[in-house]
Amino acid sequence: MASTAGKVIKCRAAVAWEAGKPLVIEEVEVAPPQAMEVRIKILFTSLCHTDVYFWEAKGQKPVFPRIFGHEAGGIVESVGEGVTELAPGDHVLPVFTGECKDCAHCKSEESNMCTLLRINTDRGVMIGDGQSRFSIHGKPIYHFVGTSTFSEYTVVHVGCLAKINPNAPLDKVCVLSCGISTGLGATLNVAKPAKGSSVAIFGLGAVGLAAAEGARIAGASRIIGVDVNPRRFLEAKKFGVNEFVNPKDYQKPVQEVLAEMTDGGVDRSIECTGNIDAMISAFECVHDGWGVAVLVGVPHKDAVFKTHPMNVLNERTLKGTFFGNYKPRSDIPAVVEKYMSKELELEKFITHEIPFSEINKAFEYMLKGDSLRCIIRMQE
């Protein structure tokens, strides 16, 4: 047992006091883990668009002051009552959506949408007692998606922690907590392209490039990147994307361009933009008879997906996925092993690395579109 077990820990955390304002590194108190909770020491964390989106709080319920962060790697410091599968010293990746192992979703082989621990972006407290574990001089600071990794210590429900190989470098595998697993799983678990097939990837941000990495691993021979930002094309070559289409270069819809390039349509397409028109194009560009399109991006709340039913009747399949269909506790340790065996490359996603004290730079890089992943070192 760590000497800190059962006690309040004082440590540094980056607090978002208000929407859109730079984070402030503060000394916070982190309460001990309660039943089914685990307190972890975060060693590395990285910034994802979801943090930025809720930090900007445009149109969503603002929950402040709050500690953001959900992609990270850490070490268990202490465990609460009832936690049997984790012990101090274990290496873990927190995940924003959990796996209770007990609900209908967790018991289904097909679903990873746990009833108990499914992502909740409005909730700023632990599900056990409805309280926050973070405070400053006794005043609560709220959690974000049950992870709040922009803190040297955080408290997470045991169901939102994947126990991983202790030899895995946390400064690399931390990116598997969210975006990279989402794109990778969309391809490997849902689109499942056959060796030698054609795959179109819409949106070449970190998620789309992870989907491309999945296509490379699956042995697809044509990986066609579709993006309205041609700056993304150069980088995408490193991810096995071998053909590029900018919809803005054509008068006709991009689905027609793709159909012409591929003799009737691609075998698989994966949409990683969040743009509704791209979603429709991604569906309509797959080959009739066997094509499968997978939607990954998070659309605008008022978006409506519109296509002629004939496109479906002609034996095209539309699927959607959440966190790449991975069950966090059951499946993520094996994704880490894919990296350990060099099947999966993660280094190429990491474009920046900064100390915790400079965390606001990570937001600047992402907002400018300069970074895929910026790793933040928590211990200096």
Residues lying near Zn ion in the complex (CB under 5 A)? 100, 103, 106, 114, 116
Which tokens hold the place of 269?
Answer: 């397409």
Which tokens hold the place of 138?
Answer: 């006794």
Question: Tokens 């632990």 correspond to what residue?
Answer: 126
Residue 287 is among the residues annotated as catalytic for this protein: no
Name the residue nearer to Zn ion (CB basis): 75 or 103. 103
Bond prior to 65 in cis (omega within 30° of 0): yes
Residues that bind ligand APR (CB under 6 A): 49, 179, 202-208, 226-229, 232, 247, 272-275, 277-278, 296-298
**Catalytic residue chosen out of the listed positions 45, 50, 182, 321:** 50
Q: Count H helices, E strands: the chain?
A: 11, 17
Tell me how far, at minimum, the Cβ of 20 lies from ligand APR, in Å. 18
Residue 103 contact, options Zn ion, ligand APR, none, Cβ 5-8 Å cut-off depending on partner type: Zn ion
Name the residue nearer to Zn ion (CB basis): 100 or 168. 100
Closest CA to 15 of 189, 151, 147: 151
Q: Which residues pair with 333 in a beta bridge?
A: none
Name the residue nearer to ligand APR (CB basis): 83 or 272. 272
Which tokens hold the place of 3?
Answer: 């000497």
Integer Rg of the chain from CA? 21
Residue 103 is among the residues annotated as catalytic for this protein: yes
Tell me how far, at minimum, the Cβ of 296 lies from ligand APR, in Å. 6
Tell me how far, at minimum, the Cβ of 117 lies from Zn ion, in Å. 6
Which tokens hold the place of 45?
Answer: 């964390």
Tell me how far, at minimum, the Cβ of 312 lies from ligand APR, in Å. 21
Q: What is the DSSP annotation of 63-126?
A: --SB----EEEEEEEEE-TT--S--TT-EEEE-SS---SSSHHHHSSS----TTT---SS--S-
Task: Report the residue closest to Zn ion, judged by CB.
Answer: 114
295, 320 Cβ separation under 8 angstroms? yes
Residue 48 is among the residues annotated as catalytic for this protein: yes
* Burial of 316: CB neighbours in 10 Å, binned 0-12, 13-18, 19+: buried
Residue 114 contact, options Zn ion, ligand APR, none, Cβ 5-8 Å cut-off depending on partner type: Zn ion
* Burial of 339: CB neighbours in 10 Å, binned 0-12, 13-18, 19+: buried
Residue 210 contact, options ligand APR, Zn ion, none, Cβ 5-8 Å cut-off depending on partner type: none
Residue 373 is among the residues annotated as catalytic for this protein: yes
Task: Report the residue closest to ligand APR, judged by CB.
Answer: 205
Residue 100 contact, options Zn ion, ligand APR, none, Cβ 5-8 Å cut-off depending on partner type: Zn ion
Residue 318 contact, options ligand APR, Zn ion, none, Cβ 5-8 Å cut-off depending on partner type: none
Tell me how far, at minimum, the Cβ of 19 lies from ligand APR, in Å. 18
Tell me how far, at minimum, the Cβ of 276 lies from ligand APR, in Å. 8
Name the residue nearer to Zn ion (CB basis): 9 or 160. 160
**Catalytic residue chosen out of the listed positions 100, 160, 174, 285:** 100
- Four-point Cα dihedral 189, 190, 194, 197, nearest 10: -130
**Catalytic residue chosen out of the listed positions 29, 71, 271, 284:** 71
Residue 11 is among the residues annotated as catalytic for this protein: no
Active-site residues: which are they? 48-50, 70-71, 100, 103, 106, 114, 118, 178, 373
